[in-house]
Structure 1
């Protein structure tokens, strides 16, 4: 696991994720306007904590968990796929 993946996994510890997939997409965005550092990442998180929550609420939960990484400038952009186990495995 990369350092960033380890940091993200640690911040998601309370989510008890059944699946956590991490993709570094930074190479696809190298040199684009507005990027002053920080990486571009995509995550898939499968957890029961998302049950009964709509897509926006799930996104906000993940954004809040990763706030320290955004605040430190380590994340420039993040694509989030947040699903319940029922949604993911069926």
Structure 2
């Protein structure tokens, strides 16, 4: 099972009402087909009620901790919302300075 699917499964502990896990590895240096190293997570959950942004991120990191180690996930962009905050769209990811030139 790939890292993307493992991450999806690990984040289920937060009971998301909306979850998107996007593999953004192709936009980063050292990419080769099949590489899984950079991900963007958009997660909406009541588990974030009463938490500041940094605490929400800590909850996501805790859920994914075994995947955040050398040789696994290198970078994780997190967009964590309460259902009442979710507007159906998260910000675009910045372009990596080391992205492959096309």
Q: Same fold (TM over 0.5)?
A: yes
Q: Tell me, which stretches of 5 or more residues in structure 1 are unaligned? A: none
Aligned counterparts of 1:73 and 1:61: Cα–Cα separation in 2: 22
Corresponding residue number in structure 2 for 1:30: 29
Alignment of 1:44-63 (within 5 A): 44-63=42-61
Q: 1:83 aligns with which of 74, 77, 81?
A: 81
The higher radius of gyration belongs to: 2
Corresponding residue number in structure 2 for 1:6: 5
Pairwise CA RMSD: 2.2
State how many pairs are aligned: 85
TM-score (structure 2 length as normaliser): 0.73
Which one has a larger percent strand, Structure 1 or Structure 2? 1
Which one has a larger percent helix, Structure 1 or Structure 2? 1
Corresponding residue number in structure 1 for 2:91: none
TM-score (structure 1 length as normaliser): 0.82
